[in-house]
Structure 1
């Protein structure tokens, strides 16, 4: 059935073809941002692997976040760059589904990793004496593995539901990648159950990690207000500031797109918001953690001095 129905199916990604006059400028901007994303996150990974002092739970989760950022951005931006280069880009059904699975998996995985990092900060501030016991290496690995399994299972469910639909001929997708709601909007069969799954299971998969983040920071704030020392309060909160900034960036850009209840043409606002959490946030994360973290700055200085 798959070969019969989808062997000749083709998805034409329109991307930013409605702005031909600035296509070259968009290509240059997005290419530079993509290179900055890759180099920044690879720098974070290299520094954490290089220095033994960064082999702690917080930096273990940060290294996973950097790896996810690289994969998340790479699942869509190369397609965007290709479409800008040729002013049109087509994907087979298998390529489209593979991209969709990667995008949903890594997007949801970033959501889960941010929740795990919030829990790590909660334990560090609210139970500092038991931190090494509660966040030992085995527990950290288990938390990351659960995050991966949950993200991939969530993505697989939506992709399998989509492959049960019928498509005929060449389909024009008004986006720069195979975004699930846009692909559903061009299907030739009923998609009501797919959109219902997006606003139920999809919303829950985002809401649960987000609630974990909210709860973690609620307990953190309560613990900080109980501290008598202003300096101690500032020092404790400074360990959370980078993560909190990343959370605000990620959820601030994803909300308007992810909770959209139905399909339809993706306007410039939605495509720009999608770029916010697929490219801008992964590009800024290394800057946020590199500039606001004294340990990271110290290790980066050592690495650059050694190279020089």
Structure 2
């Protein structure tokens, strides 16, 4: 925990103790970090890496929460409407995904006698096939039909694919910066503006081959110990390098799709034209670049989740 967080927590605890004998204060979540803690705004001050009670689930930026002050502040619960309706929708979506992942046949049995029960129809020829997902489909050709056939289920889009970067790095003054293992943007020391990039080889275009891409989202984490703790925007670009080059060239951009405070994780949706270029292989990966010290920051991650239709 940072010294600022500890000091603010102690100040709030003393103020509450003097006025009401203890309690909680309201705070707005700025970001959720890679450690599962949250960065919050309390009284106009940013408090980083605040731990959370297990009851505070589905944490996200913009939540209003109750914080118990102290030498180590703790988020106790989320404030606001009952999330039951949202939870139900999420559960139903997940249940549908699980059901579609399972075999479509309820039962397959056989014997020498006719089946017992109502509704059976005698098949003169039976056809079967295996789908691209490894599921079995059956079709029975009838001599005579006593009941209509149910409609075949609609075709299912291919499952989403997540592509991770094979490598990454930073460049300064036209050459690779061997002192930085992670992508940086900006200039904190006056040595020249930094650019960083993530490289995927042909993994993105290979994952999209023969499919219709509906959406691409990318996830990043803001590294601790690089620049101001407050939210800073990522200045994103495309590039056309399969692997780290001697000199990094930037293409389309910048786009400020995501702003993160220190330690925070975030996900952004790539623009449609970027999605098309990456899917076709015209562009190979993502990069960042900024001028000066204000938006100086380092980022990790870069995994791209591709959704198909």
- The interval holding the TM-score normalised by the smaller chain is under 0.3
Higher helix share: 1
Greater RCO, CA 8 A, separation 6+: 1
Structure number, greater radius of gyration: 2
Give TM-score scaled by structure 1 length: 0.24
Give TM-score scaled by structure 2 length: 0.24
Higher strand share: 2
